A and B are shown apart, each in its own frame.
Chain A
């Protein structure tokens, strides 16, 4: 049977869709945890969905990572997020993708996904702050940057270790 799609395209769509669903599941899991009560910092989140973005970037490429990341932000906002915060998440995601692309474009990157995740998490938080500050016309929000960077270092390390582990296991499956 001819479908008009090559096997490669079908495989790519299937794999990206699976990663998108995984990213959405991780976002949903995060939304169930009332982190704000323990860590009263606007915008501080573990960012577990970024594991799926990292896997997409590593196995497929930046285009696939961008598709997974941006669709995840959009669908998560519609399903269990809030629309006003969509702009902030989207700006954060774009900042993170730029840093991820920069890391991947270096031929000999000295660090693993731990370093990459810490940098992308920091970029995500910076992007959020820029978006919130612009919409609220208030630079005071940048006083949250130091605490957000500490969160980025911690949660970035966590998601980086998980990405390293998952990709090592996926390599063995091939």
Chain B
């Protein structure tokens, strides 16, 4: 196998970056609700009402905060705390995930509420 950087290597890098950017462009903009999925199911909240939601899932405790038209996991007792570092999410399709506690916080556009267990006003 070749051991020197060739133009084909550059082509592979460009191809992967292009696919990534194309996938990013397909994302919708602006969401009006947020779904919080835990071990116990999915609950959906509107982004227009600021609130703090304590969450328990898979033996972990988290706090989801809705502010400024977005949502964020602000507290978590999971080991890596990647979910907290994700920060505020606000565009449709964006997610903040805590893998150890199986929690998924996802920004959505209303209308697709069919899979939620609860919808809060």
State the A residues within 8 Å of B (CB).
36-37, 40-42, 58, 82, 84-85, 88, 103-104, 109-116, 118-119, 122, 132, 136, 138, 140-141, 143-147, 149-150, 152-153, 156-157, 160-161, 164, 167-168, 171
Contact = CB atoms under 8 A, between A and B. Distances in A.
A118 B1 CA distance: 15
Interface in B67-104: 79-83, 85-87, 93-95, 97, 99-100, 102, 104
Contacts of A160: 9
A117 to B, nearest CB: 9
Give 10 nearest A-B pairs by CB, closest first. Answer: A40-B85, A149-B20, A115-B12, A110-B8, A111-B8, A114-B9, A112-B2, A146-B23, A115-B9, A146-B20
Contact of B99 (A42, A104, A122): A42
A161 to B, nearest CB: 7
Contact of A114 (B13, B95, B102): B13
Contacts of A42: 82, 97, 99
A140 B106 contact: yes
25 contacts: A40-B82, A40-B83, A110-B2, A111-B2, A111-B6, A115-B6, A115-B9, A118-B12, A119-B12, A132-B99, A136-B102, A138-B104, A140-B37, A140-B106, A141-B104, A143-B27, A143-B95, A145-B23, A146-B20, A146-B21, A152-B16, A157-B13, A164-B3, A167-B3, A168-B4
Contacts of B1: 58, 103-104, 109, 112-113, 116
A132 B11 CA distance: 30
A153 B13 contact: yes
A41 B89 CA distance: 13
Kindly state the interface size class of chain B when it binds its partner.
35 or more
